[in-house]
Structure 1
Amino acid sequence: MSFDAMAGTRGARQPKGRVMRWMNALMARRIGRGSKFMGFDALVLRTIGRKSGEERRTPVGWFPGADGSRLIVASAAGAPKNPAWYYNLAANPEVLIDIDGTTIAVRAEQLHGAERAEAWERITAAAPRFAEYQVKTDRELPVIKLTERH
């Protein structure tokens, strides 16, 4: 399936700016060695910028998928637009993640339909704040499945 989440027309203010980039870099260093982020199991998503071609490292919370995959949500805290890393994944879905001191090659896939609904139920049961983010915006928050490449 494709990466096809549209931006919304309303939502919370998306965190950004120099301080946010500094915080992301700090958290990415800590998480890459094995840590939690805002109470979640966390990983560092290593994407390639779709415009710059440069590697981008973004800390994100993850949830276990039913098939052993990892699920992440492009929530941007309920902002009207998807986070930049979502568009980087759309342009290049074969990426690396750093988790517990290990780098793993994965393929990213946006979930749709019943598969997304089942994953969303699991995610919001484990972390109700994602349901709160969904209420803030009129876009459907994309759920991305990361599957290990061999």
Structure 2
Amino acid sequence: MIAAVHGHALGAGLQLTLGADIRIVSPDARLGVFEVLWGLIPDMTGTQLLPDLIGRDKAKELTFTGRIVTGREAVDIGLATRVADDPRAEALAMAREIAQRSPDAVRAAKRLLDLAGRADLATGFAAELAEIGRLISSPNQVEAVAARLEQREPRFVDP
């Protein structure tokens, strides 16, 4: 999932973006953990996902103060992936690019990257081994290699 953020993403709006795999923001977007200003705490897994993205100390600072950051600062601290003048157009272009890749490889990579840091290394390495075992010589992997060697667009099958 790719989030395109322009305008404000405060409180629950920011927490919705935390669920995205990639966040593209406009330079003047305003993002913040706003709940403390209302005597509340972030919910919707905001307290769980935010420290993974920006570090525990920055997550505490934003959560305890309610400070709002611009899109540019959001990228600088790891809250957003990149800045674009037109986040929606950038997100759609990226989605088209990802859609041209093997759906099997993209899904496997997403599963592994989502597991990283949430399981011990032995579990992560075992998961990598299992995923690569499923991918090697699969129809979509063979098509990826053939398309590159033949310098053509791949034709993947997505059941």
Structure with the greater relative contact order (CA < 8 A, sep ≥ 6): 1 or 2?
Answer: 1
Larger radius of gyration between Structure 1 and Structure 2: 2
TM-score, normalising length from structure 1?
0.24
TM-score, normalising length from structure 2?
0.23
Higher strand share: 1
Higher helix share: 2
